[in-house]
Amino acid sequence: MFRTFLAIWTGRLVALVSRWLKRGGTSLPGYLALKIDPQLMGRITSRYEKVIIVTGTNGKTTTTNLLASILRAAGLKVVHNSEGANMPAGVATALLARRGEVAVLEVDEGTLGLVTRQVKADMVIITNLLRDQLDRYHELEQLAAAISRALAAIPAATLMLNADDSLVTSLSQVRENVHYFGLARTPWSQATTSEVLEGHICPRCRRPLQFNFYHYSHLGNYYCPQCSYSRPPADYEARELELSSAGARFDLVYPAGKLVLRTPMPGIYNVYNVLAAASAALLLKIDPVTIAWVVATFLPGQGRAETFSLRDKRLTLMLVKNPTGLSVALKTLTAGRGKATYLLAINDLAADGRDVSWLWDADVSPLLQAPYNRIICAGLRAGDMAICLKYQGVKEADLKVIPDQEESVDFLLGEPVDEGLILCTYTNLALYRRILKARGAVSEVTPLPSLSGTP
């Protein structure tokens, strides 16, 4: 017990000093605390009434933050790692902060097993599995196998799985308490797709899957022509989807009824994030009125399609980190938009993934067809991004290679357009936020109203 006590107070002291020095401190306190007591996460979470883990490739941070906001609005004391520090050190840092009734923990899919060895989660939400950071996660089947082993350590946990992802649904085997969320056919569903197909092999018999329709990448309505493997019926299904640049509206049909949800977050990927969080909340028996209210007012911020006003420009900051993420982000950001300047900032540090070959797999056709003024390539791999775009048809005169991030922002601000869109990899995200704020940018993301505003 003394070791645990020492670990907690050492971590809290380091967190206090980090905040005082304005260094963030989302992982260092937990890292040091785990050095003192390696079983710390398990000891702390054993005192919680409920522990929920959110994992997968894309959408973890938004889903985690939205679910935590819903549970707080319902009156629960919630602890969660809101800034996306999802490795064990980041998870431990969040748990050190204060006590709560419910822990909602975003966990990196590659290190899920390190967490589930000691954290006995009550629910695990898996958003999707997409190719990402090959040097860390390797190929998708290896990643799915690692997640399957991690889930085996918590056999009593309820699984909330994306029915539209064949790799995710393959994780339900030999489990009893499994629920699915999914998206019904929409006006934007496609019979074929130009995006990279990743999980397109039947997890059971290894034959190519057939698709009735795609939503994006390999997410859609699939079946195997060789065996009986197919998309399971969704217990929580989004229907009658309406998408616009201002957000989305859909009916969430669930076993006990129907809930109309409206979100200001753009893009079909955010529909999935909302669907995952709202489905989990309904399963936890949260009041549907509270869920709908939080969804209608929630904006993710922190570079997840976060918008800023700066001088005479409106800027959007978006995290991209894999081919599917970049493809879907471009499709969403270019839809119906006038002439803008795009800034693509690519790094290859450890947190980004050292291998940037994924740039060549991204479908950049939405950008090529958009009325862009100029495309700025920045970051440590600015040259790779520029070559990739040149070979896909962008004229050299329309490209500007500026590796330095500060200089790239200054160039963007000098462009004769009202809109700038900054798409960047993980280690560029916080940097560009800081650069924008240092130049006076004001985030248009507003905090959620207080609980007293709940209808």
Give the residue ranges of the annotated binding site for Zn(2+).
202, 205, 224, 227
47 touches 126 (CB < 8 A): no
Tell how strand 123-126 and strand 158-162 pair up. Answer: parallel
Amino acid of residue 233: P
90 touches 303 (CB < 8 A): no
Q: Check if 164 is active-site.
A: no
* Residues placed in the known binding site: 202, 205, 224, 227
What are residue 15's phi and psi, to 5 degrees? -65, -40
- DSSP state letters, 260-319: EEEES--SHHHHHHHHHHHHHHHHTT--HHHHHHHHHH----TTEEEEEEETTEEEEEEE
3-state secondary structure of 341: strand
Residue 114's CB: how many other CB atoms inside 10 A? 18
Of 431, 83, 58, 86, the C-alpha closest to 267 is 58
CA distance 179 to 280: 9
CA distance 168 to 278: 18
Answer left, alpha or beta for residue 439, where phi above 0 means left and psi between -120 and 50 means alpha.
Answer: alpha
Q: Which of 37, 287, 312, 355 is catalytic?
A: 355
**Beta strand ranges found along 87-235 (DSSP E):** 102-106, 123-126, 158-162, 178-183, 210-216, 219-223
What are residue 224's phi and psi, to 5 degrees? -100, 125
CA distance 441 to 422: 13
Whole-number CA gyration radius for the chain:
22
Active site residues: 355
